[in-house]
Amino acid sequence: MNEIEKNLLAEIADLHEIPEGAYSIRKDGKTAGRNSTADIQIVSKEDRDGIEIHIAPNTKKQSVHIPVILAESGIQETVYNEFFIGENADVVIIAGCGIHNCGNQKSSHSGVHTFYLGKNARVKYVEKHYGEGDGTGSRVMNPQTNVYLEEGASMEMDMSQIRGIDATNRDTKIHVGDRAEVILTERLLTDGTQSAESRVDIFLDGEDSSARILSRSVGQDESVQTFFPCMTGNAKCFGHVQCDSIIMGNAKISSIPAIRANSVDAQLVHEAAIGKIAGDQLLKLMTLGLTEEEAEEHILNGFLK
């Protein structure tokens, strides 16, 4: 790979060399490398573009890397990936997509990821989106994520859009079974004239299921963000939705959280806050020798971690 492609992999997956274990690297619409292990099998889908990842029951302390990079202007693709995680497995899945566009054509990636977690399975899922390049062509990402958790399963999702994505439409749906839990953290940063729309629907279907949505975003310049997080309790459950945003410049941010109870035993909470950086925070950092721009950057980096 050239330096541009290596930089994209470093940004979205913290990869500086070919990873150990199972991985599938996709570059400019084609498979650039793939490896399976005894416990984790990665195979191409037969009916559409994408892969299937089969993780054997009781697989522990293993990881899967599935990054996607687009370094040629004008590529527009939709990829379907399915994950089958066996009972009692405990794994880390690292995804993400990076786009480098120096041309005048739109480059876009739409990834449809569907997860099936078996009984008592545990997954940590990390997904980063990043864009760069000085071309006039736009960089677009439209991730769609579907998750199904069986009894006792647990999924921690860390989903972030770092910088450089001109438009994104994010759609996440999660069904949580008996005594299963999900924690979803979403971090977004937009600037310039970028736009981001995110919809998250979590359905607490099982007895004693639980879920938490934590959304943190920063809107700068003329960018526009809209969030629709929704928690639905269909049984005895607990759910919490929290949305925090920092608004700067002439940005526009809408946060529209919703909670819906279809059971008398559902406990659901939501809260949302949008505001600018506090002046006393800036002043404190500037007294330590930082410029105003450096102080702002320090605050934003801490907020989005």
- Determine the Cα–Cα distance for residues 235 and 254; give it in Å rounded to an integer: 29
- Give which of 109, 131, 108 is closest to 8, Cα–Cα: 131
Q: Total structural domains in the chain?
A: 1
Contact of 224 with 248, CB cutoff 8 Å: no
- Domain span at residue 267 reads 3-304
Provide the whole-model pTM.
0.94
Crossing angle for the helix pair 292-304 and 279-286, to the nearest 10 degrees: 120
**Each residue's pLDDT expressed in tens, for the chain with a length of 305 residues:** 788 999 999 999 998 888 889 999 999 999 999 999 999 999 999 999 999 999 999 999 999 999 999 999 999 999 999 999 999 999 999 999 999 999 999 999 999 999 999 999 999 999 999 999 998 999 999 999 999 999 999 999 999 998 899 999 999 999 999 999 999 999 999 999 999 999 999 999 999 999 999 999 999 999 999 999 999 999 999 999 999 999 999 999 999 999 999 999 999 999 999 998 877 877 777 777 888 888 888 888 888 87
- Determine the Cα–Cα distance for residues 64 and 6; give it in Å rounded to an integer: 18
Contact of 218 with 249, CB cutoff 8 Å: no
Assigned token pair, 159: 């989903």
Per-residue DSSP letter, 278: P
Looking up tokens 């899922």 gives: 125
Contact of 129 with 161, CB cutoff 8 Å: yes
